[in-house]
A and B are shown apart, each in its own frame.
Chain A
Amino acid sequence: MRARHQTSHGWGRVLHAEEEVLRPERQAMLERLVAKDPAPAVGNRRSYGDAALNSGGRVIDMTRLDRCLSFDAGTGVLEVEAGTTMGDLLALCAPLGWMPPVLPGTGEATVGGCIANDVHGKNHHGAGSFGQHVLSLTLLGKDGARQVTPGETPDLFRATLGGLGQTGVILSARLQLVPCKGEMVRVRERRMDGIAEFLSAFDASRASYSVGWIDATAQGDALGRGILEEGEVIAGDAPPPGRTRRVPVALPPLLVSAPAVRLFNALYLRRVPEAGRDRERPLADFFFPLDRLHDWNLVYGKKGFHQFQCVLPEGEEQALTPMLERIAESGLASPLAVLKRLGPGRAGMMSFPMAGMTLAVDFPNRPEAEALAMELEWMAVEAGGRIYLAKDTLSDPDLMARMYPEAGEFARIVTEADPKGHFQTDLVRRLKLRDPR
């Protein structure tokens, strides 16, 4: 099979890799490839850093293995190939009365990527992580295919969910879908005047889906102000999807300069009237708001951006205040800043979620941004929290065991599953995730 030589990058466009990319279109081609010359699998590369990069090596692009293999309309059990995107699944299943139980913030993420990063969605506080709804998966290694289930192969299952592709190539998965009332979401939007109001609103919220947008440039009394969105899926047919727009080239970083962001954020906040409002939006618009702007990562210019995402454990939420103060002072914040309550649900050893609050902020890639992100990471670690490896470009191998207590066990199981290290990626090498601890 012919390989394509290319320079790949993470979604944040900060980290790059020279790679050979193979793209099998049928399972038989993939099986031959993995038996002969195993390499890490990648999907649509929505990880921000280097989780899907393999410098100087080969990767297997899974995006052409995107078929739905079986579906039981009675039980909602769906088997799909790993290259299927979440957006495709949602569009396919919703008219049949079912939907994926967990949806990440972009519909471009593949099922394989959602498993390998054990992603969460706006309903994490109630529904848990994506991996908790995976009934079984087929994993390909040099020795062939094997079924991995939480019941029969619990260690391998827990090392594969959130396991960054290190146990093998995820070929397909059986997912338990949830009933879906219709194709629309009733969204209640309310302005939040500051971090204290935000936190108590999350505590009081009974909505299935909730997410907060934060104006990360606001300081003083307005620190942590923003908009809380709460959603419920309701009956109704969605109008045909609108046109997606494309960012054609890397834009000058003027758009993410401090004054531009302050202005944008102030206007964005005022979009929602003071008394709040209710809106009805199509499923895809609510779950994947940024997908309408294709290649939006180019807005940050040629140098790209870092996304910092951490979770702070329950009871340590007060640590958000100094973090938000540091972000606002820095003048580095972009309009993309998200706050959300997480529940305890997680499916794997290296899964990100823990019960508490998660904060995600984008910073344009300037020299000060690295120092700021590391400072924030330290604050999170001190509070007993952790950062999300799917977003990371900067972390330190020495911090891994503190943030991920099962990192040692993970390394052991992965080494057993892939002793020769065929599935290593740049992220795994950078953070030494395979080293015994």
Chain B
Amino acid sequence: MSNESWLILGATSSMARAFARAVAERGAMVLLAGRDMADLEHVAADCRLRGARGAAALAFDARKPKGFEALIDRLCAEAGTLNVAVFVGSMPEQSEIDADPALLARTVEQNFTGPATLLHRLAPQLAQRGSGTIVGVGSVAGDRGRLGNYVYGAAKAGFATYLSGLRNRLGREGVHVMTVKPGFVDTAMTWGIEGMFLVASPDQVARDIHRGVRKRRNVLYTPFFWMGIMGIIRTIPEALFKRLKI
């Protein structure tokens, strides 16, 4: 049986649930953190039945850093390898943010500063144990500021840069940090939006992430072809890009 423990932030999202199942099947302890406690209890029950050594539902709100200590203490109470996977995030419509600029700060908090603050507090503890993995789920939207969702993209870009720095810092301490950049995934976030293509299932993405953790990948595009797509999009000169609607 595995001696891993996973703290999963944003554990009611379909991608996080699929990932929680994947680690539960390998016998890990799963600590499921989010806001809908009733739903987290359902995820926990499901994980226990699927082979988790243990599962617990914990309260977490990316915008309330006061609650972070309790989560960190709970994770550090576990013996063995400690791991964290950050699936939190929200993507308000760009038009909503344009109408209410206060939403900008909230979007950045949800997608970047909230989870980064928690990771920053946890980092010394992981470094002390000298093992473990941090998985941070960003988005391909963070690779280039686009007309349709550049505030969300900017927050994800900030998070990706933070993770890159954290990788640099913790890599020398034996802790691995993996940045995940999913393309379009069939979740509540994308459901019903027109113009989606090459949409991956949450299970497919969760399997990719799980494999990436084992192979200690640094940056993982999932599905893999998004690396190519974003490679092309990144090379478009700004003079041309500013006229495009993609």
Contact = CB atoms under 8 A, between A and B. Distances in A.
Interface stretch (A65-73, A183-191, A250-258, A320-328): A65-73
Nearest to B25: A92
Contacts of B192: 2-5, 21
Nearest to A67: B46
B39 A28 contact: yes
A153 interface: no
Interface in B192-225: 192-193
Contacts of A67: 42-43, 45-46
Interface in A1-48: 1-5, 21, 23, 25-28
A25 B188 contact: yes
Contact of B191 (A23, A26, A27, A92): A23
A81 B193 CA distance: 26
A181 interface: no
Nearest to B46: A67
Interface string A89-124: 000100000000000000000000000000000000
Contacts of B42: 27, 67, 69, 81
Contacts of A64: 14
B240 interface: no
Most chain B CB neighbours (cut-off 10 Å) among A4, A64, A67:
A67
Given A26-B36, A27-B38, A69 B45 contact: yes
Interface in B18-68: 36, 38-39, 42-43, 45-46, 49-50
B12 A25 contact: yes
B49 A71 contact: yes
A320 B36 CA distance: 55
A4 B191 contact: yes
A1 B14 CA distance: 15
Contact of A70 (B13, B38, B45, B193): B45
Interface in A282-298: none
Nearest to A65: B42
15 contacts: A1-B188, A2-B191, A3-B192, A4-B191, A25-B13, A25-B187, A26-B39, A27-B38, A27-B39, A27-B42, A28-B36, A28-B38, A67-B42, A68-B46, A81-B42
Given A4-B191, A67-B42, 13 more contacts: A2-B191, A23-B188, A23-B191, A25-B14, A25-B187, A26-B36, A27-B38, A27-B42, A28-B36, A67-B45, A69-B42, A71-B49, A92-B50
